[in-house]
Amino acid sequence: MNFATFEPAYEAILADFRFDRAADERARDAAADLATPFDLDRLGDWEDETVAVAGAAPRLADEVALARDADVVVAASTAADVLVDRGVAVDCMVTDLDKNPETAAKLTREGVPVAAHAHGDNIPAVREWLPRFADEWTLATTQAAPAGPVRNTGGFTDGDRAAFLADHVGAGELVFPGWEFDDPAVDPMKARKLDWAARLLRWLERRRGERFSVLDGRREETDAALREVIGDDIGNERVDDSVGG
How is the chain classified by DSSP, letter by letter? --HHHHHHHHHHHHHHHT--HHHHHHHHHHHHHH-----GGGG---BT-EEEEE--SGGGGG-HHHHHTSSEEEEETTHHHHHHHTTPPPSEEEE-SSS-HHHHHHHHHTT--EEEEE-TT-HHHHHHHGGGS-GGGEEEEESS--BTTBB--S-SSHHHHHHHHHHHTTBSEEE-TT--S--TTS-HHHHHHHHHHHHHHHHHHHHHT---GGGTTTHHHHHHHHHHHH-S--S-TTS-TTS--
Domain ranges of the chain: 3-180
pLDDT at 235: 53
pLDDT at 233: 60
Low-confidence stretches of the chain (pLDDT < 70) are 232-245
Q: Is the pTM of this model over 0.85?
A: yes
pLDDT in tens, 140-172: 999 999 999 999 999 999 999 999 999 999 999
The Cα 245–Cα 242 span in angstroms is 8
pLDDT at 145: 98
Phi, psi of 67, deg, nearest 5: -75, -45
pLDDT at 184: 84
Cα dist. 183→191, 194, 204 in Å?
A: 8, 9, 22
Burial annotation 80-111 (CB, 10 A radius, 16+ → b, else e): bbbbbeeebebbbbbbbbeebbebbbbbbeee
pLDDT at 234: 56
pLDDT at 171: 97
